[in-house]
Structure 1
């Protein structure tokens, strides 16, 4: 008998259907030589501290660091889990072969391996590795089962991550709570959670300490077009006024016109992070909400495996593209022109070198039915981006017009879309149902070199703006690149190696910060609470709160997954780091009540508003607000 273990009951039903197993039993489905069973979540986990050493049950600085000689696992203490584990254990005892059908990723590999280890599985084990749950994908996967040994480094990376999180979380949380928690508050520390919180706190402190500075901009309107002075900003009103008076009475001359033609590529296919970013921007969905929605679409067989960090497809997907396009029938008006000719195959979409375990998130070609409103929105994003990548590039013309008034230079840039190409896929829908291309670029009137005429110059006072608070979208990008916010896709790809957390876990990290009351949400903005700010100020160890240093540890975990770095070396370094942190904190002579630990915040009342620069801050019941709120200033800063 061949025993298949899926990651959850719904997936087990899909697999059993394809394998011809139809007889339902208690905890598994049987038939045609197969028994298909399932896990749900983490059936097994690492032992608790006191299960290694009874004295570790008590929280005491003298017991730290807690570093077990050998880590062990246990079946979780839950009646439903214990019952399902017993079913799996019984089936494995008489199995001729086991097929690991777990989630095709690091965490899924770890969950299933732990269950098989605890159930003392002794028969040969194969691995099902698929990127979608369609019948075709499952059949193809079972025809190409791989040996479990091929995924040993993936398992070792998952195990190293779990042990690393245990070592740092258990020791640092007890250490900081005992040393600084004043016997009333657990200070939760995590390997990824704490540097993520530090990103938010540091940005918040930048905003709070920001001092706005005035500057002046000289612009002029010529032929209904706004030209800006090439000199840029003036640091004093006197300097700006001198230039204004110089240009006020003379005519405006067009001195040069340059036009460059170019192309713009369609936005990249989605990985999980970019999908979460887009959904947060467009629909204000949290990272966790988006993950749940795209996971549901995967389980409904309409999109591919979601927990991915690549935006590319492998070459073997190319022959399947026409059938996928035919399958998404609701987009027939957009797909029909593509299917009429040969589909392009470019390195911007297909690159085997950029694909490891899974490819980018795309539709499967299964026609979506019975989707919720939120699922329809997310599927639409995935489908349109997929379709757009097979359309021609958008052809554009960029024009720069230079002008001069009394030797003061001005310029303006404009862009014209010559051929929309892929942009038609993202056309807006007008109220009457007609499609309308999204107008997001400034087009210029036709100028001629040497022309001149009257103009209307103005000098406007402006104020420098503070950095913007993180939203979930910008925080996800910062986690992906270890705090370095970049817009360039190629550079972002290079920085992903050192990102903190994994695409599949970042949403959970953010949710943990909410649950522990370290952050809260104001509209879309993520704001650190007093507790969150104080925790980061207490922590002196950069190893605990630096996104960059944590990113280096993440890079090593990725190297373990690729077989380029030994798990035992990673864990040895981590144990040494934990030992050093414990020593440093134990040696800290600061006391919980010290001002250095909890510095008093100076009152902001009466200081200039950092948002508009015109008003002053007023103190309310829970927050400072700007005195210019009646004229529209929205600045608000909680105590």
Structure 2
């Protein structure tokens, strides 16, 4: 009996597919039944080989060996996944397998994961492609009923190869170049480095900012308070104040009230969902992606890695049913005036439609979902209800007047019908929004009318700096980066793709170029000293957002056969060759690269300063062995971390009180005091003090 071998991206997805196909027989690394064999990858089973695979000289990083641009790229099976790769290879070459179906995620990376396994296994059997936007049983059945010819996605695979190889060429060469020149590991990436550059530029603006005083003359009237322009000097504002007080009246130059509307927001694509979840719930981009991916695999939401914010024309008939189910999930209702057509536009849907709840979402027991998944699901359901609701209708009043040759203004805003904003009853007052109560009834006022000034005064203020990036605002900046230089007709702009932006941010944090700072709700993404110094020495070509955004657009054109993959790779190679040949080391880089460490306290062994580095707190004297490692076994045994605050207490008082420690063996919690001492050679030693008087 001939079998169709189906390869999914993850075991959980393979199990969902196997259930629908009737593959109930569990085998070693796959399931079988009903004319199908269903197996899975575990992420990237096959990856680009390291440089030393091409030549042993690359084991040492030297500038003279650069650039490394292989004529033919080599691939290797990762050590951790060799077993599963062998399972797939054996299945691909089984005599009873006459067809192979790619059921990996329906996107660029899913295509790459499958094709690399298919090619590495040297398989040439006919390929089919499962392309679905939902993991619901019905969607899987429909997908298998209409399997695509795998060759239809050859250009998608070609674009995926270009992206992977371009990242390898830029990352390997630039990282080795700057690391060898500056004597420390400096990771560089085609998308990662321009993203880091955005945060460095923002922090530079914040540091360069100098607050300036300004003064505004406020005239109080029965209709409302009107303000003048800003004056840089108090005396100038005082002069106007005196004149206006003596005049005692204001001449109306404009009094109008207009009805305006704010349209309902579009449905979520991945980036807009990540931004909203960060703003509302404080989740990182990666957390939101992980929660949404899990909801997708549980058949509760549609495919998450999408850059579309609309649904296809053929989905309009299903909307009333989905809306009813979104109401059940969210506990909310859309406004009465619904416009379903506003979320339908096939022309604006690329590979996948917007993220929405699925038809089976109402069957789930939400109480069994992890809190993060439940909150994200409600966010997605709420957005569907908002998107099909009526516009928010409000009245905006504008009052302008003149006194002693100066213009005074006041604006007021009052909601007539909250529309979509009434769905979740979220108040989103922006800094520059007019006050609801700033202007009274102006219906009887006309140009040339005079109103009495009841009181006047000078209001002082200061200009404020821009804020550091949050996950929300950095995602927005990545999405818009380079848009000034990108053609308006371009379908995708910015740094990275919706599917990759979260991992880029996480990698920058993981390798120590960016750190998260702030309270529990609002975390700011701030570059570290190492991150700032890297951008200082990196040439514009590597950190340019516009150039990287242009590459992303060209990758999309490769998918559409409107741009040559060879030409794209030639451009990447030429850019890297020029970088290696022309880059000159920045003068005084040794001083520049060395961070200015602030001492935390004195070393209990030798009395020198103890400073914080990435992996712990160390004595500044190189021959002193005192070190408090952040990755600390003693503190791990207490289920605690050796934080900066704890280190400071240990250094200043020789002890630190810890609350709610937990025994690894028994699971019981307790309070104790850690006491620090040092051995004869300076190594730290810890003991616990349980006495009641311990502090």
Smaller-chain TM-score bracket: 0.7 to 0.9
Q: What is residue 463 of structure 1 aligned with on the other side?
A: 462
How far apart are 1:278 and its partner, in Å? 1.0
Cα distance in 2, alignment partners of residues 323 and 125 from structure 1: 36
Q: Please give the residue correspondences for 1:391-406 in structure 2 after superposition, counting only pairs within 5 Å.
A: 391-406=389-404
Question: Which moved further from structure 2: 4-13 or 461-470?
Answer: 461-470
How far apart are 1:420 and its partner, in Å? 2.2
8 Å contact kept, 2:490–2:553? no
8 Å contact kept, 1:204–1:469? yes
Cα distance in 1, alignment partners of residues 504 and 74 from structure 2: 25
8 Å contact kept, 1:543–1:550? no
How far apart are 1:390 and its partner, in Å? 1.6
Cα distance in 1, alignment partners of residues 245 and 277 from structure 2: 48
Cα distance in 1, alignment partners of residues 388 and 111 from structure 2: 34
8 Å contact kept, 1:498–1:548? no
Question: 1:372/1:599 Cα in 2 relative to 1: closer, same or farther (>3 Å)?
Answer: closer
Give the 3-state SS of the residue equivalent to 2:469 in structure 1: coil
Q: What is residue 529 of structure 1 aligned with on the other side?
A: 528
Aligned residues: 576
Cα distance in 1, alignment partners of residues 576 and 10 from structure 2: 36
How far apart are 1:234 and its partner, in Å? 1.4
Cα distance in 1, alignment partners of residues 513 and 190 from structure 2: 15
Q: What is residue 477 of structure 1 aligned with on the other side?
A: 476
How far apart are 1:453 and its partner, in Å? 3.0
How far apart are 1:284 and its partner, in Å? 1.5
How far apart are 1:93 and its partner, in Å? 0.8
Deviations 1:239-281 (A, max 9, x none): 2111111112403455532122232211121111111111111
Q: What is residue 609 of structure 1 aligned with on the other side?
A: none
Give the 3-state SS of the residue equivalent to 2:492 in structure 1: helix
Give the 3-state SS of the residue equivalent to 1:36 in structure 2: strand
Give the 3-state SS of the residue equivalent to 1:234 in structure 2: coil
Q: What is residue 259 of structure 2 aligned with on the other side?
A: 261
How far apart are 1:537 and its partner, in Å? 0.9
How far apart are 1:578 and its partner, in Å? 0.7
How far apart are 1:460 and its partner, in Å? 2.1
State the 4+ residue runs in structure 1 displaced beyond 6 angstroms: 491-496
8 Å contact kept, 2:4–2:36? yes
Question: 1:441/1:289 Cα in 2 relative to 1: closer, same or farther (>3 Å)?
Answer: farther
Indicate whether 1:550 and 2:545 are aligned.
no
Cα distance in 2, alignment partners of residues 401 and 178 from structure 1: 64
Q: What is residue 344 of structure 1 aligned with on the other side?
A: 339
Q: What is residue 452 of structure 1 aligned with on the other side?
A: 451
8 Å contact kept, 2:159–2:556? yes
How far apart are 1:551 and its partner, in Å? 1.3
1:516 to 492, 511, 514: 511
8 Å contact kept, 2:170–2:189? yes
Question: 1:477/1:589 Cα in 2 relative to 1: closer, same or farther (>3 Å)?
Answer: closer
Give the 3-state SS of the residue equivalent to 2:423 in structure 1: helix
By relative contact order (CA 8 Å, sep 6+), the higher-ranking structure is 1
Indicate whether 1:194 and 2:193 are aligned.
yes
Q: Under a length normalisation based on structure 2, what TM-score does the superposition of the two structures give? A: 0.78
Cα distance in 1, alignment partners of residues 566 and 155 from structure 2: 12
8 Å contact kept, 1:481–1:492? no
2:230 to 229, 233, 245: 233
8 Å contact kept, 1:326–1:332? no
Give the 3-state SS of the residue equivalent to 1:21 in structure 2: coil
How far apart are 1:328 and its partner, in Å? 3.3
8 Å contact kept, 1:28–1:35? yes
Give the 3-state SS of the residue equivalent to 2:155 in structure 1: helix
2:139 to 133, 137, 140: 137
Deviations 1:110-155 (A, max 9, x none): 0011011112222111000000101111111111111111111111
Cα distance in 2, alignment partners of residues 599 and 223 from structure 1: 62
Deviations 1:517-561 (A, max 9, x none): 11112212222111111111111x211111112111121112112
Indicate whether 1:208 and 2:207 are aligned.
yes
Question: Which moved further from structure 2: 452-461 or 119-128?
Answer: 452-461
Indicate whether 1:501 and 2:496 are aligned.
yes
Deviations 1:42-98 (A, max 9, x none): 1110111111222222222221111111012111112xx111111111111121111
8 Å contact kept, 1:481–1:495? no
1:55 to 42, 54, 57: 57
Q: What is residue 567 of structure 1 aligned with on the other side?
A: 565
1:113 to 97, 112, 115: 115
Cα distance in 1, alignment partners of residues 587 and 251 from structure 2: 70
8 Å contact kept, 2:397–2:411? yes
Give the 3-state SS of the residue equivalent to 1:497 in structure 2: coil
8 Å contact kept, 1:307–1:504? yes
Cα distance in 2, alignment partners of residues 101 and 440 from structure 1: 52
Cα distance in 2, alignment partners of residues 395 and 521 from structure 1: 39
Q: Please give the residue correspondences for 1:601-616 in structure 2 after superposition, counting only pairs within 5 Å.
A: none
Give the 3-state SS of the residue equivalent to 2:79 in structure 1: coil
Question: Which moved further from structure 2: 458-467 or 382-391?
Answer: 458-467
How far apart are 1:451 and its partner, in Å? 6.3
How far apart are 1:478 and its partner, in Å? 0.8
How far apart are 1:226 and its partner, in Å? 2.7
Q: What is residue 659 of structure 2 aligned with on the other side?
A: none
Q: What is residue 278 of structure 1 aligned with on the other side?
A: 276
Q: Please give the residue correspondences for 1:577-588 in structure 2 after superposition, counting only pairs within 5 Å.
A: 577-585=575-583, 588=584
Gaps of 5+ in 1: 430-438, 486-490, 604-620, 623-639
Q: Please give the residue correspondences for 1:267-416 in structure 2 after superposition, counting only pairs within 5 Å.
A: 267-328=265-326, 330=328, 334-335=332-333, 344-346=339-341, 348-365=342-359, 366-367=361-362, 368-369=364-365, 370-416=368-414
8 Å contact kept, 1:253–1:453? no
Cα distance in 1, alignment partners of residues 573 and 340 from structure 2: 48
2:436 to 416, 429, 442: 442
Give the 3-state SS of the residue equivalent to 1:328 in structure 2: helix
How far apart are 1:483 and its partner, in Å? 5.8
Deviations 1:489-535 (A, max 9, x none): xx998677331111111111111111111111221222211111111
Cα distance in 2, alignment partners of residues 125 and 245 from structure 1: 84
8 Å contact kept, 2:335–2:390? no
Cα distance in 2, alignment partners of residues 354 and 226 from structure 1: 46
Q: Under a length normalisation based on structure 1, what TM-score does the superposition of the two structures give? A: 0.85
Cα distance in 1, alignment partners of residues 426 and 573 from structure 2: 55
2:244 to 214, 239, 247: 247
Deviations 1:284-323 (A, max 9, x none): 1111111111111111111111111121111111111122
8 Å contact kept, 1:153–1:560? yes
Indicate whether 1:218 and 2:217 are aligned.
yes
How far apart are 1:568 and its partner, in Å? 0.8
